[in-house]
Amino acid sequence: MIEDKNPQRTPLEELGEFGLIEHLTKNFDIKHTTTVKGIGDDAAVLDLTAKQTVITTDLLVENVHFDLSYAPLKHLGYKAVIVNLSDVYAMNATASQITVSIAVSNRFPLEALEALYAGIETAAKIYNVDVVGGDTTSSTTGLIISVTALGEVDKKDVVYRDGAKPNDLLVVSGDIGAAYMGLQVLEREKEVFKVNPKNQPDLEAYTYIIERQLKPEARKDIIELLKALEVKPTAMIDISDGLSSEILHICKQSDVGVEIYENKIPLDPQVISTCEEFNIDSTTIALNGGEDYELLMTISQKDFPKIKGNPNLTVIGFMTEKNRGMHLITRGEQAIPIIAKGWNAMNNAG
């Protein structure tokens, strides 16, 4: 489905491993004073003494986490960075450095890796992080991308998953369910394309949800907004595996229960219309879809006036005593137990 607009194919062996790394990383510049030495030596050197350091890592595997028949390599490079930065922001921290390692098979020419690294470079520039190292090696199974992200946060500002208290409000940024429905549209069009390769899909009606799947954004802006509003969440997590799954993580680690309200869950109109088209319940998608990379947080009720009416944040429920359990209150005011059916990379390709 993705046309190769660059017919030139330079075999990777023409550069060799060191030449390849040098070529792919030549445009990465250093932005942070904490980066003493970036790419080009045996290891990076960072000066991280002033604050607490946050470290997270993610692995993206071809045909498990992404499908190159519809995921452009530049978008994939961008997304690989974003999914890691999102975890840093979920700690209420500022992202500062990343390392990028790839394993790649010989079916990829140099031009493909240039596109991948162009996406990595774009994300690093937009989110103001330094690329300080990584590795390339050969793979017999396709493309594997591993990104490690580092961030920094004042000790007093760090937010864990275990700080939620009964009566805290449950708040989500943005809207949810879009990335999963974007994936459904792409998978459907892939099947159509297999039957008729001359058929070019018309995806205009799905622009937002497809972008949310192929090129998500991390919510650095929400961390900055919370700081400006002088709101420190009591617990926080990013929505990578689905809303229900992330809620259960907070409940388990904070030893609390929860009530969330179906009619408060923020859905984009494109998600609602696409769910209707696919005959899927939009609440089920919002709860179990995953890959939205929005932030889910709990805040003290005293902070409610500070966030009230803010278009970036929606209160979707509140935390309860643990013995009250974890429930979704439906539009018909029924209490349904929340169970995690979230996106699971171990048994979901896509």
- Which CATH code, of 3.20.20.450, 3.40.50.970, 3.40.50.150, 3.90.650.10, is assigned to 169-337? 3.90.650.10
| Phi, psi angle pair for 344, to nearest 5° | -130, 115
What percent of the chain stands above pLDDT 70?
A: 95
The structure tokens listed for 349 are 């390709």
Task: Decide if pLDDT at 286 tops 70.
Answer: yes
- What lies within 8 Å, CB to CB, of 30 at 6+ separation is 38, 130
Q: Which residue in 3, 105, 95 sits closest to 53, CA to CA?
A: 95
Highest CATH level, class, for 12-153: alpha beta
Q: Are 240 and 90 in contact (CB under 8 A)?
A: no
189-193 contact pairs (CB < 8 A, 24+): 189/1, 189/70, 190/1, 190/67, 190/69, 190/70, 193/1, 193/69
Question: In the prediction, which pLDDT does 6 show?
Answer: 52
The pTM for the full model equals 0.91
The structure tokens listed for 167 are 């009566």
User: What mean pLDDT value characterizes the chain?
Assistant: 92
Query: Which tens digits make up the pLDDT trace of 292-335?
Result: 999 999 999 999 999 999 999 999 999 999 999 999 999 999 99
Separation of alpha carbons 88 and 150, rounded Å: 7
Query: Which tens digits make up the pLDDT trace of 212-266?
Result: 999 999 999 999 999 999 999 999 999 999 999 999 999 999 999 999 999 999 9
11-25, 192-206, 214-228, 285-299: range with lowest mean pLDDT = 11-25
Which of the pair, 197 or 18, is modelled with greater confidence? 197
Q: What sign results for the dihedral spanned by CA atoms 247, 296, 151, 132?
A: positive
Q: Which residue in 266, 269, 235 sits closest to 253, CA to CA?
A: 235
Average pLDDT over residues 94-102: 96
CATH 3.30.1330.10 residue spans of the chain: 12-153
